[in-house]
């Protein structure tokens, strides 16, 4: 369980740092960033489409190996990738919704942790809950995107992404500290219990030795 929590926190911090970098790039280099994202996504789709076509050609005349859908899938995917590369403004309208969904899902998870901390009477639950609610609002704003899908507006969207990334980092660190504190307290409780148990066992052995000695006398 502890290893799972460590992986979760590590993944959450890495994701927040990536979003922070993305937000900063959108603020200062909106058009270049959108073009880079478009080229990456479009390039990946073109590569997938080409691989599907190669797989279809290499299948030869074998009915078992050849899948007729590969040629359709390959052509459609490759064309879609080329369209994205040529029309990077399309990505500018998609990015806010995709990131907004990711932020809402992540914030919901943090909100769940806030309720868990509250049930354990941890004083960090209020801070975690407030940060999660603010992050959720940022995600919803990006999801429904009330702004025009223009490159100039991407600076505002970048600002929301930076705000979320910072809040998420603070929230993750706060939750991590609280969880570590809980684990430490549990370990100390277990250690104390083991010491008490060992002392009781030693007392029992001591009483048995005294009783045996008295019987021998």
pLDDT of residue 31: 81
SS3 content of the chain, % helix, strand, coil (to 5): 90, 0, 10
pLDDT confidence bin for 200, thresholds 50/70/90:
low
pLDDT of residue 208: 59
CA distance readout (Å), 77 to 49, 57, 67: 5, 16, 16
SS3 114: helix
pLDDT of residue 170: 86
The pLDDT tens digits of the residues spanning 119-144 come to 877 777 888 888 889 888 888 888 88
Find, among 105, 123, 84, the residue nearest to 164 by Cα.
105
Per the model's pLDDT, the better-predicted residue between 174 and 132 turns out to be 132
pLDDT of residue 109: 84
Gap between the Cα atoms of 128 and 167, Å rounded: 9
SS3 45: helix
H/E stretch holding 46 reads helix 30-58
Mean pLDDT of the 59-64 span: 62
Gap between the Cα atoms of 48 and 63, Å rounded: 22
Mean pLDDT of the 182-205 span: 54
pLDDT of residue 48: 92
Percent of the chain surpassing pLDDT 90:
9
Question: Is 193 a residue whose pLDDT tops 80?
Answer: no
pLDDT of residue 44: 93
H/E stretch holding 118 reads helix 89-119
H/E stretch holding 16 reads helix 2-28
Question: Is 160 a residue whose pLDDT tops 80?
Answer: yes
How big is the chain by its Cα radius of gyration, in Å? 29
Assess contact for 12 and 168: CB atoms under 8 A. Answer: yes
pLDDT of residue 179: 66
Gap between the Cα atoms of 146 and 137, Å rounded: 13
Say how many CA atoms lie within 13 Å of 93 toward its Cβ. Answer: 8
The pLDDT tens digits of the residues spanning 64-116 come to 556 677 788 889 999 999 998 888 777 777 878 888 888 888 888 888 888 88
The pLDDT tens digits of the residues spanning 6-49 come to 777 788 888 889 889 988 998 888 888 888 888 998 999 999 99
pLDDT of residue 45: 92
Gap between the Cα atoms of 150 and 180, Å rounded: 44
- Residue by residue, DSSP assigns 161-191 as HHHHHHHHHHHHHHHHHHHHHHHHHHHHHHH
């Amino acid at each position: 369980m502890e290893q799972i929590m460590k992986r979760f926190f590590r993944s959450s911090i890495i994701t927040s740092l990536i979003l922070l970098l993305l937000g900063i790039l959108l603020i200062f280099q909106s058009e270049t960033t959108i073009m880079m994202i478009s080229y990456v996504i479009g390039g990946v789709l073109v590569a997938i489409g080409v691989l599907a076509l190669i797989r279809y050609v290499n299948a030869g005349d074998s009915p078992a190996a050849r899948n007729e859908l590969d040629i359709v899938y390959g052509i459609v995917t490759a064309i879609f990738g080329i369209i994205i590369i040529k029309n990077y403004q399309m990505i500018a309208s998609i990015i806010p919704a995709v990131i907004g969904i990711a932020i809402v899902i992540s914030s919901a998870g943090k909100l769940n942790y806030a309720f868990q901390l509250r049930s354990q009477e941890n004083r960090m639950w209020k801070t975690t809950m407030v940060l999660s609610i603010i992050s959720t609002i940022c995600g919803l704003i990006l999801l429904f995107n009330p702004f025009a899908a223009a490159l100039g507006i991407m600076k505002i969207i970048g600002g929301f992404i930076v705000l979320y990334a910072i809040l998420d980092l603070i929230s993750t660190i706060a939750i991590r500290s609280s969880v570590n504190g809980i684990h430490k307290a549990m370990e100390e409780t277990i250690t104390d219990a083991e010491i008490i148990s060992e002392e009781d066992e030693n007392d029992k052995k001591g009483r048995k030795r005294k009783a045996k000695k008295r019987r021998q006398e």
